[in-house]
């Protein structure tokens, strides 16, 4: 379900940016577009594109995935403006623990992937990949469990790829892997409610991601009792303060995650993780380790299983080295203009 124009805009400080929406020319004056290759194919892509701005509060990122429509992407732009042009909530912690992320790779490649995540004691494993089987998932998850050892924490993410029966069967099959939680096993809130009822005896929590960040009402999943944990991402939710408000109103534990961001986008997520009153789980903010290039000479990668929550800045030389082609810059500029028009129209309502 797409996000409405008014919802996209109102997700920024509940309308506070309406008074401070910077001119489009100001955004364009500091805009950079980068193309970053991935170490392993992830989410069906081999390169990640992102647009960055240097705002008065610091560097910020606008990087909705290419297939997202303008209305949904406008929320990501609202988050970029929030982080680059508005003061952020105070930090409660200077570092946050992060998980390793294992794409839908063959089981034999698991060790190489995990080696990129220094000191991480939690791993999130992608499952339900199109074109793969449950046997592939089981082999991958068990390989991760073997590498992590009995003290490591293993969580899986299906990105809504199973129906209720498939999810129930998969959870049964993976019960011996001592799963920390299962993220978005099914696509819809009613499916999550039914699955949670069926697998409750396993004691494996259900986490909601797409049912929060892609929903017209991100609190619907909590009201329905469809999840035990919320996965929250700064860009899709319109900014740090908006995400904090959602977590507070939902009354559920939260895991801050990324959307395969550059180190600037990960810094946005780290700011949210730093501001949360409670942070009981490692966060999905270690994904710079999946990139072969970034926007900083020293990317925001895990060190001893954690990242700093201090704000970071892009390096002009690194931006230039990884700059997108002229036609891709023009594509992003056009997208920025369209999304900006959506925010401007919402501000006038």
Annotated active-site positions, please?
Answer: 126, 233
DSSP state of 325: P
**Which helix or strand (DSSP H or E) is residue 257 part of?**
none
Those residues with Cβ within 8 angstroms of residue 131's Cβ, 6 or more apart along the chain or in another chain: none
Of residues 305, 314, 212, 219, the one with CA closest to residue 263: 314
* Contact indicator for 82, 240 with CB cutoff of 8 Å: yes
Residue 183 assigned as binding residue: yes
Of residues 237, 120, 101, the one with CA closest to residue 159: 101
Residue 278 assigned as binding residue: no
* Contact indicator for 215, 55 with CB cutoff of 8 Å: no
* Contact indicator for 184, 231 with CB cutoff of 8 Å: yes
**Which helix or strand (DSSP H or E) is residue 66 part of?**
none
Q: CA torsion sign, 319 to 323 to 326 to 331? A: negative
Burial letters for 20-29: b for 16+ Cβ neighbours within 10 Å, e otherwise?
ebbeeeebee
Residue list, annotated binding site: 157, 183, 209
Residue list, annotated binding site for Mg(2+): 157, 183, 209
């Amino acid at each position: 379900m797409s996000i409405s124009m008014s919802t996209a805009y109102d997700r920024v400080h509940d309308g506070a940016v309406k008074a401070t929406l910077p001119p489009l020319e100001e955004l364009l004056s500091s805009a950079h577009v980068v193309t970053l290759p991935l170490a392993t194919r992830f989410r069906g892509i081999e390169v990640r594109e992102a647009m960055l701005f240097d705002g008065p509060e610091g560097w910020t990122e606008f990087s909705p995935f290419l297939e997202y429509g303008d209305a949904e992407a406008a929320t990501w732009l609202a988050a970029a403006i929030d982080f680059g042009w508005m003061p952020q909530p105070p930090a409660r912690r200077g570092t946050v623990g992060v998980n390793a992320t294992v794409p839908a790779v063959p089981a034999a490649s698991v060790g190489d992937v995990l080696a990129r995540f220094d000191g991480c004691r939690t791993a999130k494993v992608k499952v339900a990949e199109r074109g793969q089987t449950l046997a592939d998932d089981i082999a991958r998850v068990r390989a991760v469990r073997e590498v992590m050892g009995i003290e490591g924490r293993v969580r899986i993410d299906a990105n809504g790829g199973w129906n209720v029966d498939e999810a129930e069967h998969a959870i049964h099959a993976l019960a011996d892997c001592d799963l920390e939680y299962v993220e978005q096993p099914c696509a819809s809130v009613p499916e999550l409610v039914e699955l949670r009822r069926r697998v409750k005896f396993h004691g494996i929590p259900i986490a909601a991601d797409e049912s929060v960040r892609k929903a017209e009402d991100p609190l619907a999943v909590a009201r329905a009792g469809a999840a035990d944990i919320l996965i929250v991402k700064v860009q899709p939710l319109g900014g740090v303060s908006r995400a904090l408000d959602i977590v507070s109103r939902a009354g559920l534990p939260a895991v801050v995650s990324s959307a395969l961001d550059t180190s600037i986008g990960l810094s946005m997520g780290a700011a949210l993780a730093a501001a949360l009153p409670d942070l009981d789980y490692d966060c999905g903010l270690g994904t710079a380790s999946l990139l072969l290039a970034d926007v900083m000479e020293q990317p925001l990668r895990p060190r001893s299983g954690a990242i700093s929550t201090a704000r970071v800045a892009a390096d002009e030389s690194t931006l230039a080295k990884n700059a997108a082609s002229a036609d891709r810059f023009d594509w992003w500029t056009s997208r920025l203009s369209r999304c900006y028009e959506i925010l401007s129209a919402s501000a006038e309502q």
